Amino acid sequence: MWTTVLTFVCLLGIPVLFVGLILLTVAVAMWEQRVVWYFVPVEDAHRKPAPLDRANPYAVPANLTPIPPPSVESSSASAAARDLGFKFLGTHRDAKGDRYRVRYDFWIAPQRDVLVNVGCGTVMGIAVDARWLYTRLQDGRLVVTITDQSASEYDLAGQRIEAVVSTLTFEQLLAAHRLRVSQQFSPVQPYGPDPLKDHRASVTQRVLSLVGSGYAKHLDPGQEKWSYTLWGALLFAPLANGQALRRSIISDASLNR
């Protein structure tokens, strides 16, 4: 009897927990003020961030909190990128506030087909360590390969073709990313003389698409901050949590994503 009751409670508890997680995600998605472009360049040896945009007085202000040093994993990834001929594009910090003590080291491939973001640090005291690989396609979409689910963000705009790939080395990650790119129908759009400017344009266009679809709204006249609308949050929450749950059971690699 007790076994039956326990089984019933467990079966009932799982969907209740999932619904609770979705409701929490909806609340956070609507409450959180997101920054469109939150990468602030670090210019000097004292690790003080440069202004986001000197010509724009409405740009997100830079916080003077020192950025963290590179982790063992991020140092290894950056060293591998350098050995493969990638060009270093500078160290950046997170402009979203004191809770986000994260450093980002950007690299561009010699073929200019892959932009790499090597990140590490803490978010609200929780350690984060991930790599992002980006490739632009001529149809306007962006192929994104990341190393950790915690660095993922479900894209309601449908502009990001994202997959989580857990690999041992940067070389393996790069090979997996380029394989994914080769499986797309659209040709690659190489990055231009300023890859970070190109990447910023892609990020900005994604947010504009979310706003245009009614999924998000801008929070300031300069359109530097945004949040999900109720409709966007209601869609985002189950899709994002469902994707995370699916990835814990079946990997993106198994589905050839």
pLDDT tens, 21-56? 567 766 767 788 889 999 999 864 344 445 555 554
pLDDT given for residue 44 in this prediction: 40
pLDDT given for residue 22 in this prediction: 67
What residues contact 241, with CB distance under 8 A and at least 6 apart? 18, 21, 22, 25
DSSP H or E run through 143: strand 142-146
**CA–CA gap between residue 4 and residue 12 (Å, rounded):** 12
Which of left, alpha, beta for 60 (phi over 0: left; psi -120 to 50: alpha)?
beta
Cα angle 137-139-142, degrees, rounded to a multiple of 5:
40
The DSSP code for 137 is: B
Q: Provide the token pair at 161.
A: 């073709």
- Model pTM score: 0.84
Helix ranges (DSSP H) in the chain: 2-31, 72-83, 170-182, 195-212, 230-249
Which band of pLDDT confidence, cut at 50, 70 and 90, is reported for residue 63? very low
Residue pair 188/138 in contact by the 8 Å Cβ criterion: yes
Q: Provide the token pair at 16.
A: 């209740």
pLDDT given for residue 49 in this prediction: 46
Q: Provide the token pair at 218.
A: 């801008």
pLDDT given for residue 43 in this prediction: 67
pLDDT given for residue 253 in this prediction: 79
The pLDDT tens digits for 107-139 are 999 999 999 999 999 988 888 899 999 999 999
pLDDT given for residue 47 in this prediction: 46
Pairing of strands 160-164, 100-108: unpaired
Q: Which of 11-20, 163-172, 235-244 has the lowest mean pLDDT?
A: 11-20
**CA–CA gap between residue 251 and residue 18 (Å, rounded):** 20
Q: Which of 14-18, 147-151, 211-215 has the lowest mean pLDDT?
A: 14-18
Which of left, alpha, beta for 158 (phi over 0: left; psi -120 to 50: alpha)?
left
Inter-axis angle of helices 230-249 and 2-31, nearest 10: 130
pLDDT of 11 higher than 50: no
What residues contact 20, with CB distance under 8 A and at least 6 apart? none
pLDDT given for residue 217 in this prediction: 95
Question: What is the arithmetic mean of pLDDT over 79-87?
Answer: 97
For residue 184, give the nearest of 142, 222, 225, 123 by alpha carbon. 142
Average predicted confidence (pLDDT) for the chain: 84
Number of domains within the chain: 1
Q: Helices then strands (H, E): number in the chain?
A: 5, 10
Residue range(s) defining the domain that contains residue 186: 2-255
**CA–CA gap between residue 141 and residue 115 (Å, rounded):** 14
The pLDDT tens digits for 188-237 are 999 999 999 999 999 999 999 999 999 999 999 999 999 999 999 988 88
